[in-house]
């Protein structure tokens, strides 16, 4: 695994722990289809959460939360629809798309931001 892949995996692990710590249940990680990949699928009560995870090192690139453009948001909605088609449809609480941005400073603990309902 290259450094970028390792950084992404580390960020996804932090994100999964953050979601679990908020009382969500992780349903699936790194679900793939021809259209792309969903980083994390979770349950938040009776709602399904499709979660995109963006991890960046401090000062190297744009803030991770800025990485989800309108085009990326549309792609996430499409991926959520594909996941629902494969897994039997939407739950009673509907579907929400969240973003977790993780910034890894040179020193100190990672900064984790969780934005709910971004798309």
Q: What is the pLDDT of residues 20-50, one digit of tens each?
A: 999 999 999 999 999 999 999 999 999 999 9
Domain span including residue 32: 3-115
CA–CA gap between residue 6 and residue 12 (Å, rounded): 10
More confident residue, 98 or 65: 98
Percentage of the residues of the chain whose pLDDT score is greater than 70: 95
> Is 79 in contact with 36 (CB distance < 8 Å)?
yes
Per-residue confidence band for 65, with pLDDT thresholds at 50, 70 and 90: confident
Q: What is the mean pLDDT of residues 68-85?
A: 92
100: left (phi over 0), alpha (psi -120 to 50) or beta: beta
pLDDT for the residue 12: 96
What pTM was estimated for this model as a whole? 0.90
The tally of domains found in the chain comes to 1
User: Residue 95: which CATH number?
Assistant: 3.40.1350.10
């Amino acid at each position: 695994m290259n450094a970028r892949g390792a950084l992404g995996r580390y960020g996804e692990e932090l994100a999964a722990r953050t979601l679990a710590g908020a009382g969500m249940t992780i349903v699936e990680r790194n679900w793939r289809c021809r259209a792309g990949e969903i980083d994390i699928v979770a349950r938040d009560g009776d709602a399904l959460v499709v979660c995109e995870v963006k991890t960046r090192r401090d000062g190297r690139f744009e803030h991770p939360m800025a990485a989800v453009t309108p085009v990326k948001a549309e792609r996430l909605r499409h991926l959520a629809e594909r996941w629902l088609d494969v897994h039997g449809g939407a739950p009673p609480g509907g579907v929400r798309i969240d973003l977790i941005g993780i910034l890894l400073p040179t020193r100190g603990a990672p900064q984790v931001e969780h934005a709910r309902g971004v798309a």
